[in-house]
Chains A and B, each alone.
Chain A
Amino acid sequence: MSRPHDMGGRYGDGPVVPEEEGTVFHADWHKRALAITLASAAHGAWNIDVSRHARERLAPMDYTRFSYYEKWMAGLADLLVEAKLVSREELAGQAPAPSPSADKTLKAAAVPSVLAAGGPADRPSDIAPAFQPGDAVRTRRLAANALVDGGHTRLPRYAAGATGRVVRYHGTHILPDSSAHRLGDAAEPLYAVAFPASELWAHPEHPRDEVVLDLWQSYLAPA
């Protein structure tokens, strides 16, 4: 039931290597990968949850061996074919045909306003908040999408079946488990939930440490 992106708590990855603040990109192709991804998304053929899931469902061997922007490129290529914006033959080297979607292409003059506008994820919802700050809650026993087998979810495995307390209410947000599969926004209440480190790990570093996750109401039950 797992996918390789869900790596929180994993052992064996070695040290984190700090880097200076000045370097934004480490290679020219990294810049192009970022820009191509953002510009392609402007066609509106997918949302952010669909694009995250496209990277997550790379073959585990690819997800693991690809560097960061290689994952982006692979996810993008797969999405472009699925959305029928590019054909398999074109990816394989056949001469590209002009696209009927070219009229929606992001132009240079529109970039600042598009980046500034962002893509807010809060939406109205008929689902009333069931919890408030201070309430004890328990997460689903399995970190799995309840709608689609093997589908996208934002409950990491390390926090499944754990008891914590609500520390903040964020309003009602798009449910990624639905949105990633084009099943609609399905907005519902979203909370920040704090878990004692001792609830998550066999050998916590410190008795007072906590991990806080943003979790949707349907991931939670009263505890």
Chain B
Amino acid sequence: MPHDDPDHPHSLLPPDPALRVKALETILTQKGLIDPAALDVIIDTYENKIGPRNGAHVVARAWRDPAFKTALLEDATAVVSEMGYYGRQGEHMVAVENTADVHNMVVCTLCSCYPWPLLGIPPGWYKSDAYRARAVREPRAVLADFGVALPEDTAVRVWDSTAEVRYLVIPERPAGSDGMDEAALMDLVTRDSMIGTGLALPVGRSAP
């Protein structure tokens, strides 16, 4: 197969993005290659069923249960699968833990790899040129865009997702959260804190 066709077939479709998608959907539907009802189920799955509350569940449990956290850091795929969070774009999971010594942050410089079963579809900024270009070279400047400033003696470790391994950041547990139950802890775990561009919320605030 040629991999550099100078005459890309996609240019035959209408240039306007919305019309382009509509044209492609119509062609594929008329050919019987896609089922519009299946498209609706896919959209509903990622719009309403699979999202960052799954990851927050994993993090809250890790905060409360040291044995669970040890197992999660050892083999996250097995642990999150048991919780029902295995699936497309989450076939090989690794969890990394933030501490006072090291702050982890995840990017995919080459495309947009992201742990779908735990965090859903990536936000626009994760897929943006600015994040993909800058996160590996100047993570602290990127964190500043999110309003996050790390202590001077905390090292940053950026994970560039270049294979089919997907990374989940376990943010530091907020001070004063001892004794809180799993549901209350989940409310402190934001999507961005599990990518590493944010921190868990302080006690008293709540994730969306």
A interface residues (Cβ-Cβ under 8 A, vs B) = 5-11, 13-29, 31-36, 38-40, 43, 48, 52-53, 55-59, 62, 67-70, 73-78, 80-82, 85-86, 88, 90-92, 95-99, 101-102, 105-108, 110-112, 114-122, 148, 150-151, 154-156, 158-159, 168, 170, 173-174, 176, 181-182, 190, 192, 194, 200-201, 205-206, 208-216
Residue of B nearest to A201 (CB): B137
Report chain A residues within 8 Å CB of B208: 20-22
Partner of B3, one of A10, A13, A148: A148
Interchain residue pairs with CB less than 8 A apart (11):
A9-B137, A91-B27, A102-B31, A118-B91, A119-B88, A120-B91, A120-B164, A154-B163, A159-B160, A205-B140, A205-B156
Residue of A nearest to B147 (CB): A18
Partner of A24, one of B4, B46, B125: B46
Contact assessment for A21 and B163 in the assembled complex, using a CB-CB cutoff below 8 Å: no
Residue of A nearest to B140 (CB): A205
Q: Assess whether B177 is interfacial by the CB under 8 Å rule.
A: no
Partner of A210, one of B86, B125, B157: B157
Q: Assess whether B37 is interfacial by the CB under 8 Å rule.
A: yes
Q: Assess whether B100 is interfacial by the CB under 8 Å rule.
A: no
Contact assessment for B38 and A108 in the assembled complex, using a CB-CB cutoff below 8 Å: yes
Contact assessment for A211 and B160 in the assembled complex, using a CB-CB cutoff below 8 Å: yes
Report chain A residues within 8 Å CB of B133: 7-11, 13
Report chain A residues within 8 Å CB of B107: 8
Which residues in window 96-117 of B have CB below 8 A to A? 107, 109-112, 117
> What is the CA–CA distance of A213 and B158 in the complex, to the nearest angstrom?
9
Partner of B46, one of A29, A34, A151, A181: A34
Min CB gap A212→B, angstroms? 5
> What is the CA–CA distance of A120 and B88 in the complex, to the nearest angstrom?
8
> What is the CA–CA distance of A178 and B64 in the complex, to the nearest angstrom?
43
Contact assessment for A99 and B159 in the assembled complex, using a CB-CB cutoff below 8 Å: no
Report chain B residues within 8 Å CB of A95: 30
Contact assessment for B165 and A8 in the assembled complex, using a CB-CB cutoff below 8 Å: no
Min CB gap B48→A, angstroms? 9
Contact assessment for A33 and B21 in the assembled complex, using a CB-CB cutoff below 8 Å: yes
Given that A173-B163, A209-B139 are known contacts, is A116 also in contact with B21, CB under 8 Å in the complex? no
Q: Mark B77-103, 1 if CB is under 8 A from A, else 0.
A: 000000000111111101000000000
> What is the CA–CA distance of A58 and B9 in the complex, to the nearest angstrom?
11
Report chain B residues within 8 Å CB of A19: 123-125
Contact assessment for B51 and A5 in the assembled complex, using a CB-CB cutoff below 8 Å: no
> What is the CA–CA distance of A148 and B25 in the complex, to the nearest angstrom?
33
Given that A40-B34, A74-B10 are known contacts, is A213 also in contact with B39, CB under 8 Å in the complex? no
Contact assessment for B30 and A96 in the assembled complex, using a CB-CB cutoff below 8 Å: yes
Contact assessment for A200 and B3 in the assembled complex, using a CB-CB cutoff below 8 Å: no
Residue of B nearest to A12 (CB): B133
Min CB gap A35→B, angstroms? 4
> What is the CA–CA distance of A9 and B4 in the complex, to the nearest angstrom?
25
Q: Mark B1-23, 1 if CB is under 8 A from A, else 0.
A: 10111001110110001101111
Tell which of B168-176, B178-186, B190-198 binds the partner: B190-198
Report chain A residues within 8 Å CB of B160: 8, 156, 159, 211-214
Report chain B residues within 8 Å CB of A213: 160, 162
Partner of B43, one of A34, A101, A209, A210: A34
